[in-house]
Amino acid sequence: MNDDTPNAAPATILITGGSGFLGSRCIVHALAVGHRVRATVRDLAREPQLRATLARAGVDAGDRLSLHAADLRSDKGWAAAAAGCDYALHVASPFPADIPRDENELIAPAREGTLRVLRAARDAGLRRVVLTSSFAAVGYGHGPRAQPFDESVWSDTAAPLAPYVKSKTLAERAAWDFVASEGGGLELAAVNPVGIFGPVLSDDFATSILLVKRLLDGALPGAPKLYFGVVDVRDVADLHLRAMTDPAARGERFLATAGDFLSVSDMAATLRRELGPAARRVPSRQLPNWLVRLAALADPAVRQILPDLGKFKNASNAKARRLLGWNPRSAEQALLATAHSLIELGLVRG
């Protein structure tokens, strides 16, 4: 694992979605290596909460952090937020726990918000934007595949896709098209994480964390036959900073995964093995596919996972390792860090 992000010349970095699970970790890493951060949030009233979150990670942001109000659905605020910055990490993107009735509730802000950030970055003369995309833009809509996915592959938007998957794919496509046709001298790199886990600093965490929470809470009667990539949020933040300044990252996508994908059963077994009594509610049985399909009749959230039920996927992190020297923690370390932090913060049933 690495907390040794290469030091670059101090810069001012625009980080969108600064109060989110990944955004706040990007702020932590940027400040730790000497940068100044200008973070966007939808509501400036969240500043005390964000600063408290950073303090729990051991960072006193002081005057090296400033917040600007900006929303992906509006042009207002983006030009002012970008002015005077050197780089941008565009982390903000909607990822609700529940499925929206209209997929455009996700697609429009993801795509149009990305273009707003890129326009502001171009007009302010930033050097490079690192876009937080997703494995969702790589590994969906495909048939059986023996080889791990790499960055040359794109999700097939002509296939039936969940709204979030479609939103991330279309947003990243739009970003590359914009930089190619209207970007001027602006550079772009994309980071495509799998499920982001790792230590939680508050009760405002990524939707992926809910899987570990539900396993620990005993909210799942068993483990569905689903496979997930796992990566630690600290390593994803590290990869963003590497992609921000390394010349090798210009114009490139980077899959962020700790290693081979795990089944939910594998995750549950890791928690039971390592946590002892704290994992007493973690299920030990695997749910048959027919039972999951039956549950999907009444639960739209379960219905969303049906296309991937029983399908093993995998992805390679070789490119990020080779080009950027990235060395992530193991999936098991990320899962256990997630669990320990949820327990320590009292976010798991007693």
Would the pLDDT of 303 be above 80? Answer: no
Please state, in angstroms and rounded to a whole number, the distance separating the CA atoms of residues 164 and 289.
23
- Looking at residue 298, its pLDDT comes to 84
Tell me what the mean pLDDT of segment 279-294 comes to: 94
In the residue annotation, 168 being an active-site residue is answered as: yes
Task: Give a yes or no: residue 324 inside a domain.
Answer: yes
Q: Which of 168, 213, 225, 319 is catalytic?
A: 168
Residue 280 placed within a domain:
no
In a domain, 94, yes or no: yes
User: Across all residues in the chain, what is the average pLDDT?
Assistant: 92
Tell me if 268 is assigned to some domain.
no
pLDDT at site 145: 85
Q: Is residue 147 part of a domain?
A: yes
Q: Which candidate, 131, 127, 128, 126, places its Cα nearest to that of 114?
A: 131
Query: What are the angstrom distances between the C-alpha of 107 and each of 77, 286, 333?
Result: 21, 33, 33
Q: Which position has the higher pLDDT, 205 or 124?
A: 124
Distance between CA 311 and CA 288 in Å, rounded?
Answer: 13
Joined tokens for residue 213: 């929470």
> In the predicted model, is pLDDT for residue 190 greater than 80?
yes
Residues of the domain holding 25: 12-204+230-258+314-330
In a domain, 155, yes or no: yes
pLDDT at 98 (0 to 100): 64
When pLDDT is averaged across residues 271-300 and rounded to a whole number, the result is: 92
Question: Does 118 fall in a domain?
Answer: yes
Can you tell me the mean pLDDT for 306-335? Answer: 95
Q: List the CATH number of the domain containing 34.
A: 3.40.50.720
With respect to residue 335, please indicate whether it lies within any of the assigned structural domains.
no
Tokens of 310: 């029983």
Q: Which of 300, 147, 142, 327 is closest to 231 using CA atoms?
A: 327
Q: Structurally, how many domains does the chain consist of?
A: 1
pLDDT of residue 103: 84
